[in-house]
Chain A
Amino acid sequence: MNARRALTRRGLLRLLAAGAALPGVARAQGFAGLGTTAEGFATPQRGRALVFPDDHGPHWAFRIEWWYLTAVLRGADGQEYGAQWTLFRSALAPEEGAGWDAPQLWMGHAGLTTATRHFSAERWARGGIGQAGVTAGPFRAWIDEWEMTGRAPEDADALDALRVVARGGDFGYRLEFDAEGPLVLQGDAGYSVKSPIGQASHYYSQPFYRVAGVLDLPEGPVEVTGHGWLDREWSSQPLQDDQEGWDWLSLIFDDGTRMMGFQLRGAEVFTSGTWIGPDGRATPLPHGALRFTALEEVQVAGRAVPVRWRVEWPEGGLAIETEPLNPQSWMATSFPYWEGPIRFSGSHAGRGYLEMTGY
């Protein structure tokens, strides 16, 4: 979903402020032109058909966009791991531009979770100088030495096979992603509503990756295999003013079914989701279909974060409880949030990823 990664006004402010490293920049008025309205930027349109591979690339007319990859992994010894690779684009003006004047900012996040430790790293770059970017054909997304590079054959979708690399000061990973199912359009054919009054984004996923590769941990390299999930989303102002945080999850059932669900916390809670059959057939779950109940809060980075959830879809017979691999899966980045692998049980069982912001 988009809201999940969606940069709320406040989040974007914080993010840009911190990243821009111009102290005192956290002044709201500095970003007034950026945060409040989407003037000059395009807004998502219902019924706009997504076209591939073009839509794998950047949408310069929109303000924000991301390429968001998560993977639940397991080592040969049965140890569980989680990995995250994300590239965010945020624009100062609706054009690609060139050179230092290009109005594009790029931010990369990488995370690696074990049962006892959580690693995170962040990268920043200006557009226009080649330090970061995304191209649709051949598919390549990069920031510094971090890469998500397409390696699919010509006739397949460009995102069907990826090589993904990232590293920080004390960790790194090299993973290969191979899709075993089709792309899935979220919401109404890729038009995903985020609030009762209709804020929305364009949103599609590739939830069917099989993953293999190596994690570099302080103890040494670990060979892993597992499942991965890619989200692609772009918008210009996807959230309502009072929406300050969200709880988002992607679930990979043991029987091959997938599900995406989120709730946006504001004056009113807005929920949405997609039930994805093993063949890729998507069933949108409208506002109110999903029910989220926090079961347990723990102290994470000085705040109370609900790390165990009950998620229910009464009409579909879903009633599960989630359990994090590591309750301290805290992304200590410019705008910090909780993101880590989970397992779930109840009416259904499997593994997945949970993201929570605004705590």
Chain B
Amino acid sequence: MTRAALSALLSHWRRHPLQLAMLLAGLALATALWSGVQALNAEARASYDRAGAFLAEADLARLEAPAGLIDQADYIALRRAGWQVSPVLEGRVDLGASRVTLLGVEPMTAPPGAVAADLTGADPVAFMSAPGQGFAAPETIRAVGDAPFELIEAPEVPVGQVLVDIGLAQALLGLEGQVGRLVLLPNQPLGLPPLNEIAPHLQRVDPETETDLAALTDSFHLNLTAFGLLAFAVGLFIVHAAVGLAFEQRRGVFRTMRALGLPLGRLMALLAAEMLIMGLLAGTVGLVLGYLVAGVLLPDVAATLRGLYGAPVSGTLQFRPAWAAAGLAMALAGVLVAGGQGLWQLARLPVLAPARPRAWARASGRGMRVQGVAATGLALLAGALVVIGDGLIAGFVLLAALLLAAALFVPLVLAAICALGERWARGPVAQWFWADGRQNLPRLSLALMALMLALAANIGVGTMVSSFRTTFVGWLDQRLVAEFYVTARTEAEAEALRAALAPRTDAVLPVWFAEATIAGLPARLYGTADHATFRDHWPLIAEAPGAWDRLAAGEGVMINEQLARAADLWPGDTVDLPGAGRLAVAGVYSDYGNPRAQVMLGIDAFLAAFPQAPRLSHAVRMDAAEVPALMADLQDDLGLPHTLMSDQAQAKAVSLQIFERTFVVTGALNILTLSVAALALFASLVTLSGMRLAQLAPLWALGLTRRRLAALDLARGMVLAGLTAVLALPVGLMLAQVLLAVINVQAFGWRLPMQVFPADWARLGAWALLAALVACALPALRLARSAPADLIRVFAHER
């Protein structure tokens, strides 16, 4: 009996292969996008952890010089005083065909287990003696090609880094006699002399609780996750539609089987098993697809993260069982959510109820009203959250409520538009066009809602990314306004440097800073010269009158947005600065990408408060064309390594290049999400076309040609899709606003001004119409080519 019942149930799918394909494709695509994004995130996070654990430094305190570099003599002095420290020197350098981060370590004093887990082929003698050895990930070695020393594959070394002996690192970076930081070993001997007796200019930095990388890159991963979730939701619409339709169409079968004696429990178990199998099948396919998607996108994601945040992310994807399990669970949960409603209805279906196939989820007036009430409720919730919501979770609830409300409103608004169209239409065909559109809305509503969500997500995320880009680029322009940046290694060298720069440049501005705790937050204080560079270009988001004059006079300070929001300090408030007393907040400036608090102080006030602060870094205003020559001269005359100089044009070009890589990823995800929505529309239209013959046959009998009917169907599909796209625009902009003004502020402490890009909307609208055209074309073609006999048969079978 069970076997017969199963065969009867499955025969439905044999007769409706397209429906089956839609169901599986929808679920597989939804799973693919979701799990693909998750794979990207997991890979990136694993890379951060690897990077953190790589030198086993994550848990160790270290000594740093505020100016950046530490004289090797300080290292020796500390060791000779008993301090158990080990030097590390890190720096970017061109190696072979690639630019890499050199990680110079001293193996004899490195903390136990510090230099990675197991560097195969390590030979300390070869590592420490000329010409040396470098350990790097295989892809780094491929990118580098030829190096002046042996490169050995070590997959555990973060991508883009090369582990070398500290001596080799000094030579390659041109930093002989300098080290970057001193790692404090866990076991220090008894009775150490205090640090300030040996190297008072060094600072002890305790290990961070969370890696900076994780904090910095959170925004990026958050966006990816949001995208993945949206894509999954859109995919679920397809699944929901297909499963619901299958339940609807099999009502007769169910009733017959029940009448023949199949217990309800058995029937439900069979249907549940059917869905489970489909979930597993589609989920597996989805995982494979997701893995492929992630594999294709990972190099770009990795390049973005490397470039943007210096996060060493491997470009090679690894298979993680936990990820696969989570993806499959998502697929199963999805199919159960989609089929749960059908099962529930089946459980309440009286055996002898008429098997008249009703339109599934037919929009009765009451249904519409319920939907309207729900949508309004959600919209009100979203509105309330805008006013009273606080925190990241509230931000996400707001996002969800907003999107769901908008989606639920879609069929209502479209129905209203169709009703209006019907009223204004002239002629019976036009009236039928609108009335038929309204009649079929309930069947299409899920697909149209999915399309609307996909479009809104595209507009919202696209607007956010583009706004971020525009703002960031503008901000880069403002912040990196000096043509040339240079750092000296010692105070004496800095002195010589300033003397050498003075006659050849317009202005040499100090970039001198000290660390302090401001309003309970670790902050960096900068001494700022009074110069047009800052007055004209610095990006202020709030300022008191005469802000720059007050800064120059030492009466006020500028703080960055992060500090302003974290400590709720704005122009008009005062802030307590160690050594400088209580000063007014004269202005707040945007400081994207920096997780820490920052304060700008007039240079005189700064020097009075922090006379010990190193005076090594400088921003130089000059003719941009002269920069390369100046760099070459400084290298020759002062022996200044090129790693301590940076040409602003070059820096900016690199940043922009990185941004383009970011857009490759968002762009690809956008297109994929839209494809899923188009597929949903296609699925709905295909299933609808089979049922519509009964509605179209009378019109055909009245004299409308099949070609005309097909054209009208196509036109209606396009009109509905077009209207949906128009509706998606305000929703997308609201979404963008929430992302920029709520989510960003809660997650990262800065607010981005929204910028609109109508050209992008037009492009997206065209894509939506194209997708709708493709989705409508096949059913319309089928209608145009349907045999007259089929149409006549409608009347013969009329019930």
Contacts and interface: CB of A to CB of B under 8 A. Distances in A.
Interface of A: 16-17, 19-25, 27, 29-31, 33-34, 92-93, 99-101, 103, 105, 121, 124-126, 129-131, 142, 144-145, 167-172, 216
A103 B115 CA distance: 21
B79 A21 contact: no
Contacts of B125: 16, 30-31, 33-34, 92
A24 B107 contact: no
Interface stretch (B136-144, B165-173, B266-274, B705-713): B165-173
B148 interface: no
A225 B667 CA distance: 80
A167 B82 contact: yes
Nearest to B168: A100
B532 interface: no
A195 to B, nearest CB: 26
Given A145-B80, A145-B82, A21 B107 contact: yes
Interface in B167-195: 167-168, 170, 176, 187-191
Contacts of A93: 129
B81 A125 contact: no
- Closest CB pairs A-B (n = 8): A100-B167, A20-B124, A30-B123, A145-B82, A22-B122, A124-B108, A167-B189, A169-B187
Contacts of B113: 21, 23
B190 A169 contact: yes
B118 interface: yes
A104 B125 CA distance: 10
B182 to A, nearest CB: 13
B76 interface: yes
Contacts of B170: 100
Interface in B701-727: none
Given A21-B108, A124-B108, A170 B129 contact: no
Contacts of A21: 107-108, 110, 112-115
A171 B167 contact: no
Contacts of B116: 23
B256 interface: no
Interface in B76-93: 76, 79-82, 84
A22 B115 contact: yes
- Residue among A16, A20, A142, A169 facing the most chain B CB atoms (10 A cut-off): A20
8 contacts: A19-B108, A20-B124, A20-B127, A22-B115, A129-B76, A167-B82, A168-B190, A171-B190
Contacts of A169: 187-190
A116 B127 CA distance: 42
A121 B107 contact: no
A24 B113 CA distance: 11
Contact of B124 (A25, A130, A168): A25
B118 A23 contact: yes
Contacts of B121: 24, 27
B691 interface: no
Contacts of B107: 20-22
A171 B165 CA distance: 32
Contacts of B112: 21
B115 to A, nearest CB: 6
Contacts of B84: 144
A100 B167 CA distance: 5
Interface in B144-171: 165-168, 170
B650 interface: no
B190 A126 contact: no
A226 B435 CA distance: 113
B541 interface: no
Contacts of A30: 122-126
Contacts of B115: 21-23
* Residue among A22, A30, A142 with most chain B CB within 10 A: A22
Given A25-B123, A124-B109, A130 B167 contact: no
Given A101-B129, A101-B167, A24 B120 contact: yes
Given A20-B124, A167-B189, A100 B76 contact: no
Contact of A100 (B82, B166, B189): B166
B106 interface: yes
Contacts of B420: none
Given A130-B76, A172-B191, 19 more contacts: A16-B124, A20-B107, A20-B124, A21-B107, A21-B113, A22-B107, A24-B118, A24-B121, A92-B125, A93-B129, A100-B167, A101-B129, A130-B80, A145-B82, A145-B189, A167-B82, A169-B190, A171-B190, A216-B190
B517 interface: no
Given A101-B129, A144-B82, A125 B108 contact: yes
Contacts of B118: 23-24
Contact of B119 (A22, A92, A124, A131): A22
B460 to A, nearest CB: 49
Contacts of A20: 107-108, 124, 127-128
Contact of B79 (A17, A25, A125, A172): A125
B123 A126 contact: no
A142 B82 CA distance: 11
B9 to A, nearest CB: 60
A27 B123 CA distance: 8
Contacts of B166: 100
Contacts of B79: 125, 131, 144-145
Contacts of B566: none
A146 B189 CA distance: 11
B657 interface: no
A336 to B, nearest CB: 15
A353 to B, nearest CB: 24
Nearest to A142: B80
A207 to B, nearest CB: 29
Contacts of B129: 92-93, 101, 103
Nearest to B189: A167
Contacts of A22: 107, 115, 119, 122-124, 127
Nearest to B120: A24
A232 B219 CA distance: 63
B97 interface: no
Contacts of A145: 79-82, 189
B123 A131 contact: no
Nearest to A34: B125
A27 B168 CA distance: 23
B78 to A, nearest CB: 9
Nearest to A23: B118
Given A33-B125, A100-B166, A169-B187, A144 B80 contact: yes
A144 B124 CA distance: 21
Contacts of B176: 99
Contact of A131 (B80, B126, B167): B80
Contacts of A168: 189-190
Contacts of B632: none
A85 to B, nearest CB: 14
A169 B188 CA distance: 6
Contacts of B373: none
B345 interface: no
A129 B75 CA distance: 10
A99 B108 contact: no
Q: By CB atoms of chain B within 10 A, which of A19, A129, A130, A170 has the most? A: A129
Interface in B214-231: none
Nearest to B110: A21
Nearest to A130: B76
A251 B106 CA distance: 40
Contacts of B124: 16-17, 20, 22, 25, 30
A126 B127 CA distance: 13
Interface in B516-560: none
Given A103-B129, A168-B190, A24 B82 contact: no
Chain A CB within 10 A, most for which of B108, B109, B112, B123: B108
Contacts of A92: 125, 128-129
B72 interface: yes
A52 B651 CA distance: 61
B393 interface: no
